[in-house]
Every structure is written in structure tokens, then in C-alpha cells.
Structure 1
Amino acid sequence: MIDYLCHDFKTPRTDTSRRLPSSFRAIPVIFYVALVGSAYVMTMDYFNYKKALTQKTEAEERKKLSESQRDTFKAEKADLESEAFKAEKVAEWMEGARNIQPIAVKIARAVQAETRITQVALERSEQVPANLALTIHLNGSKVAGELSAIENALGQLLYNSYSPQQTKNGEAVEYHSTLVRRSE
């Protein structure tokens, strides 16, 4: 067997730097811990970002739903307000209305048998529902006396004639007047 000896003929060097202190051995450990920690933080940020996106879409859907509900409620409110307005107008109309049958009866009773009533029209105005527009067509010989009798009969029902007009064609008379109810 051959004994081969290898000698290392190195000379000690003085121009090299000293060894690092042993506390520096912790630097790679700190690096890997920081790397794992940053990976953990980035992963959690990603999951939180995805969660925030889903929460944002859910919030937008809830917002759209609440806005649509608000719009339907506003539409219902507007419909109800318009119905209430219409109901108030109808109530005002009905409040202003008086029973027309007594007026027609008084007119019929005020006219004598010789005079014929060919037409009686009682119309209410939308602007002033308490007032009535009266139109009477009479045929007969004593029509002038009949008109004053009609006005007296309407006066008993607390109605005054306002701006009466009459048009005469032979024995036919057309009488127009606005009936205004007096306060009692």
C-alpha cells in the first residue's frame, strides 16, 4: 500500500478580514421568518380583499333593493296622495251638492196647468259646485207670471237667481239663471 501524503502548503494570510460575529447567524433565520410572515400577510390580505368584494356586491344589491322599494313606496305614496286629492274633491263636490229633487218639485208646482215645461236642466259647475245653472223652456200664454212664481218658489228653498236671462219666441220662453244658495 502506498502512503500518499498530501500536504497543504498554505501560508497564513493577514490581508483577509475577520470572521463575522456569531450573532449574524440569526440574519438568515430572520429573513426566512420575514419571508414566511409576509407570505402569510399577503395571503390574508388576498382573502380579505375577496371577502370585501363579496360584501361590496352584497351591499350594492341591498342598496338597489332598498332603492327599488323606496321608489315603489314613493309611487304608492303618490298614488295614495292623488287618490286622497280626488277624494277631497269628490267630498267638496258632494258637500256642495244639495238635493235637486226639491228644486224640481218646486218648479213643477209653481207652474200652472196651462203652461207646459218642455225642458228643465239643472247643472253644477266644477269650479263652484254649490251653484246651479238652471235652464227652463216654457210654452204657454202666461209665461211671465210663471217665471216670477218659479223664482218665488226657489226663494223658499233659499236659492236666489243670479243674472237671470229670458229669451222669448212667440209663446215659448227660454229662461237661464244661476241659482246661488243663501246662508241660513
Structure 2
Amino acid sequence: MKNVLICSALTAALASGYAHADNHSSNGSAISGQSLVENGYVEARLGFADVGLDDSAIVVAGTFGTSLAHVYPGLGAEADLTLTAVDAESNYFGGKVEASYASLAGYATYTYSLDKQIKDLEVLGRLGLAYTDAEASASNGSATASADDSSIDIAIGIGARYNLRDNLALVGRLDTYEDIDVFSVGATFRF
């Protein structure tokens, strides 16, 4: 529980810490909670997570992000929640191992527009911290065992976004944290 609180605090600080800071730009405007929402977006994705077993887990992911381009062009922040929808599994000598996980992550992001090369395409990068809670179980018909583990790790992600309209885009991401690699695709809706 302590790790969840630490990660939640880090995510909140990353996503909203700028709201109370002065922006020392020439126009004197400060970043407000309202501007974070006005520049915000939500993302819903479906994907596969490689957790080291024969079959990958199917995951669903949701992201809330905001542009901080008024601080530095391309800069942003994201809070991300990923949950296992279908467990990863492997079969061994008549037994089966299953694994699932949930992660909560906070990221600093950078978005680079490729409009000059390919209209409406953006390249995405993100770096942050992820709290991951993983569970595994094994059974061979006569005996079962289970284990769980949680940790906070560095999380890195890359991706691409293709803007269909001003407020709607298709997105694909590859993220990695705590020996878990996640490939996901979905849609982004901007406020």
C-alpha cells in the first residue's frame, strides 16, 4: 500500500505540479489547472504484454495527458493505468503458469510533429516511473502455488500518433518497465 501511495503522489506531482508554478515567460501568464485540462487528452488502448511466458497477456490501458508546450515546445505529462484483461500463460509438463499485472505510471512526455515529412503524424516519447503489482499462479492438477510482487521502476515508452481531426487521433505505443514490454494501439481524444 505504501508503494501505491508513493506512486500516486509522484503521478499527481508530475501531472499537476506545474499548476502552482510561475511561468516566467514574457507575457506573465501562469499555468493553471484549467489550462492543463484545456490542453489535455485521454487515450484508450488495447494491447499485448510480454511478461516472459509463452503466451502474452492482453491488456487495456488508459491515459490522461496534457500538453505543456507553453513551458517548452513538445513537452507534456501523462498519467497511465494498465490492467491485464487476459492473463499470460505457459504450459509445463502437464501444469500451467498464469501471470497478470496492473501498473500505474507517471510520465514526462515529448511530442515531435512530422508535418513537414508526413502530414498529421507525430512521434512520441515518454520517461517516468511505474508502480507495478504482478501476480503469478502455477498448478499441475494436484498442487497449486501463487506469488505476488510489487515494485516501482523506471518506465520508458515510444510511439506514434496520426491525427484524423483536431480532437481525434490513432495512436500506437511500445512501453517497457520491470521486465514487461507492452505494445498497444488505440485512440486519443483531445479536449
Instruction: Specify which structure has the higher proportion of helix.
Output: 1
Report the TM-score, using the length of structure 2 for normalisation: 0.24
Larger radius of gyration: 1
User: Which structure has more RCO (C-alpha within 8 Å, separation ≥ 6)?
Assistant: 2
Report the TM-score, using the length of structure 1 for normalisation: 0.25
